[in-house]
Structure 1
Amino acid sequence: MADVTRAGTFQLGDLSVTRMGYGAMQLAGPHVFGPPKDRAAAIAVLRAVVESGITHIDTSNFYGPHVTNQLIREALHPYPDALTIVTKVGASRGSDGSWNVASSAAELESAVHDNLRNLGLDTLDVVNFRVMFDVAAPTEGDIEEPLTALAELQTKGLIRHIGLSNVTARQVAQGRAITSIACVQNMYNLAHRNDDTLIDSLADDGIAYVPFFPLGGFSPLQADALSHAADQCEATPMQVALAWLLQRSPNILLIPGTSSVEHLKQNIKSVNLHLPEDVLSSLDKIGSGKAQV
């Protein structure tokens, strides 16, 4: 595998993590619900993640539910000292696989304890509060009450650092007035760049930005433009999308997910891919709506 440290590291509070991380969501069953199709393969991927030098794994107890956390514990516990596990709270899953809001103080405390139990930890490294006013996109709304509840759990030693997910810039500002925010996790990629200004402001303050869905929501024309750039670089579209994110800003941390060791290796190769200026220029047109092939 490629050397993940070539992409550098970043400080999540007092935790140093590799900028190339891994997202465990795809290890659960279809629609992130139920057990994996191949449990042994899921365990193998997680072990390959650590063997590759990645020190940042993203998960949540509502993946499955419980599935990805239990897999992480089975595969990796006792955990390497350098490994940082980032989890999320704020949602729950119905028996039909539905995604439900779970942001009361009692629900958040229960979720924190569920994560601790299933991961086999006494303290969670980082807990992202997933805002659920709209499951699909950041939506304005007051987050003071749930974030205050998480900050109280932090003072009890159950949480080391707090982050935010699916949030607006205004909610980030509100959160930072309540407690220290280590990271922000939103949808962002070449085609969806609403957070450009937010990323830059977070970078100025040393706060990590963790984009998800690096290939999500591309139009056919945008996808064709990305494929053309990938051909120019002799790489895959995913590798180019990930390399672009790494070059976009030094505070961006990646968490591409996969249930395949081979795909993991392919994703990690993006750390060796430096996109030249002409390719970057063509890729920037994807986000501006001026994609060309």
Structure 2
Amino acid sequence: MTVDMFRIGGDLGVRRLGFGAMRLPSEPGPAREDSLAVARRAVELGVTLIDTAHMYGWGANEELLAEALYPYVDGLTITTKVGVARSASPAGWKLDARPDVLRGQVEHALRRLRVERIELLQLHRIDPAVPLADQLGALRELRTEGKVGRIGLSEVTVTELDRAREIVDVASVQNRYSLLDREHEPVLAACEAAGIAFLPWRPVATAVSAASAEIAAVAAELNATPAQVSLAWLLHRSPVILPIPGTSRIAHLEENLAAAHLHLDPAGLDRLDRLDRLDRLAE
């Protein structure tokens, strides 16, 4: 296992720089054809971890990935998330992690992705209206039945992670985290201590600030882009971090994946490490 690899759950080997499929348009037309091409190019470039969710198009994103990539190459992991349902609310969605809803969404995902087992299934959010033991118990039953390989969580606190680990083995956590957004630093530390994969969503810092200007300066010195510097910093930050940047353009995809080969020297890393403090001081 090389340094750019990680074993999710201790046994599922993936390359650390993955791809988030949320931004891929799935409606019929030229944009969908572009989406299919982006997904295929990601795999051509060596991506072995692709992230999707029931919420992304209410299953349409899962169907898109299957159309683009099935039959899947050996070693490709498509992780999906469940626990969010459509709603008549202004947001258009609501948390719903009742056991029957979770099971139904998993069954739909299996059909849409054309697989018999989802190697990594993540609970999109903990539903405060449903006992945690019921939510995770349903996912554990699906794992026992062989329909799920490993269980992950998304947007959790350290306390919630600890409670969850008392009920099931947690293989991954997907929280918002980036060079300029380190709110979930304690969760990352807990994951690193336990060997749990940490998949930061929104991994590329986009804020217009003194800190982002410094990122641009570091990038210019390396003949790289700010996005590449942000991703390279994440890969260096912790061995359990598996960034999943998303895009709908092949050029942007190729730019992101090239970050795996970007070398940040100690001086550059020190400048980047201090940016979070700079941003907070400016607030």
Q: 1:43: which partner in 2?
A: 36
| 1:22/1:54 contact within 8 Å kept | yes
Change (3 A) 1:281 1:36: farther
**Number of residues paired by the alignment?**
278
Change (3 A) 1:79 1:9: same
Q: 2:85: which partner in 1?
A: 92
Q: 2:61: which partner in 1?
A: 68
Q: 1:258: which partner in 2?
A: 247
Query: Deviations 1:208-249 (Å, cap 9, x if unpaired)?
Result: 111011235635222222212211221111000000000001
Change (3 A) 1:132 1:148: closer
Query: After the TM superposition, which of the residue ranges 278-287 and 234-243 deviates more from structure 2?
Result: 278-287
TM-score for both structures, normalised by structure 1: 0.88
Q: 1:114: which partner in 2?
A: 108
Q: Cα distance, 1:258 vs. partner?
A: 0.8
Query: Deviations 1:27-52 (Å, cap 9, x if unpaired)?
Result: 036xxxx6676111111111111111
Query: Deviations 1:131-171 (Å, cap 9, x if unpaired)?
Result: 156xxxxx9x9632211111111111111100000100111
Pairing partner for 2:20 from 16, 23, 32: 23
Pairing partner for 2:216 from 221, 227, 241: 227
Q: 2:7: which partner in 1?
A: 11
Q: Cα distance, 1:97 vs. partner?
A: 6.4
Query: After the TM superposition, which of the residue ranges 199-208 and 46-55 deviates more from structure 2?
Result: 199-208
Query: Deviations 1:251-293 (Å, cap 9, x if unpaired)?
Result: 110111111111111001101111112221221222113689x
Give the Cα–Cα distance (whole angstroms) in 2 for the partners of residues 188 and 205 of structure 1. Answer: 18
2:238 maps to amino acid: S
Matches within 5 A, 1:127-166: 127-131=121-125, 143-166=132-155
Pairing partner for 1:193 from 168, 182, 189: 182
Identity among equivalent pairs (%): 37
| 2:179/2:205 contact within 8 Å kept | no
Q: Cα distance, 1:197 vs. partner?
A: 3.1
Matches within 5 A, 1:251-290: 251-289=240-278
Q: Cα distance, 1:190 vs. partner?
A: 1.2
TM-score for both structures, normalised by structure 2: 0.91
